[in-house]
Structure 1
């Protein structure tokens, strides 16, 4: 993977991302959140470890929200839609359906206004 590709995937808003990259990136974020939450539940209540895991959870939650928006915007770009529709990923009950649709809906085969190819920032 080229240098900076992971940073672009989770924090960049330009370009396009494929269904597989969107799904795997989303699953990575979920697994990280579940792991930190699990570790928090194992820590004794009121301990320093409990406070540390709680802090890590909230920090990861903020980063995950930003990364989810970035992934959603690039996934929408892959089939020529504006990134503002990524807001649907945060509407309760609609978010699961929106995630599934973004995982299954095929992107544009060729270049579009958001980039020449998938899984790369717009050049």
Structure 2
């Protein structure tokens, strides 16, 4: 899955917490959000000055919060874990490291309890 396909899929599945997401889908969407946060931060700095109010950055962040959580849950489903494991992010350091390891890990081969393998099914269920 390429950059454009991943971003389009994440926005098409805006609040879809079912199914599985490949590593490429998650990480391309992560990169897209990182670049957009930098861009909206720069726009805020130009419009509002050095102390900036961050309004555009905030609005963008709110707009992608739900699809970001959804793709994270689908990514965890790909390694046969519940999306509720995303709450580990609130455990200082350990939660971040564990989630990072899980997000980097390859998905389960073949179907699991969350659906068919997105590598063979191409995610079009």
TM-score (norm 1): 0.74
Equivalenced residue count is: 115
| Higher relative contact order, chain-length normalized (CA < 8 Å, sep 6+) | 1
Shift of 1:91: 4.8
Structure 2 vs 1, CA of residues 99 and 80 (structure 1 numbering), >3 Å: closer, same or farther?
A: closer
Structure 2 vs 1, CA of residues 81 and 99 (structure 1 numbering), >3 Å: closer, same or farther?
A: closer
| 8 Å Cα contact 2:20-2:117 kept in structure 1 | yes
Give the CA RMSD over aligned residues. 2.7
> What runs of 5+ residues in structure 2 fail to find an aligned partner?
none
- Which aligned runs of 4 or more in structure 1 are off by greater than 6 angstroms? none
Structure 2 vs 1, CA of residues 28 and 98 (structure 1 numbering), >3 Å: closer, same or farther?
A: farther
Alignment correspondent of 2:123:
120
Match of 2:28 among 20, 24, 28: 24
Counterpart CA distance in 1 for 2:79 and 2:43 is 38
Counterpart CA distance in 2 for 1:31 and 1:39 is 12
Q: What are the equivalent positions in structure 2 for 1:24-63 lying under 5 Å apart?
A: 24-45=28-49, 54-63=54-63
TM-score (norm 2): 0.73
User: Do structure 1's residue 5 and structure 2's residue 9 form an aligned pair?
Assistant: yes
> What runs of 5+ residues in structure 1 fail to find an aligned partner?
none
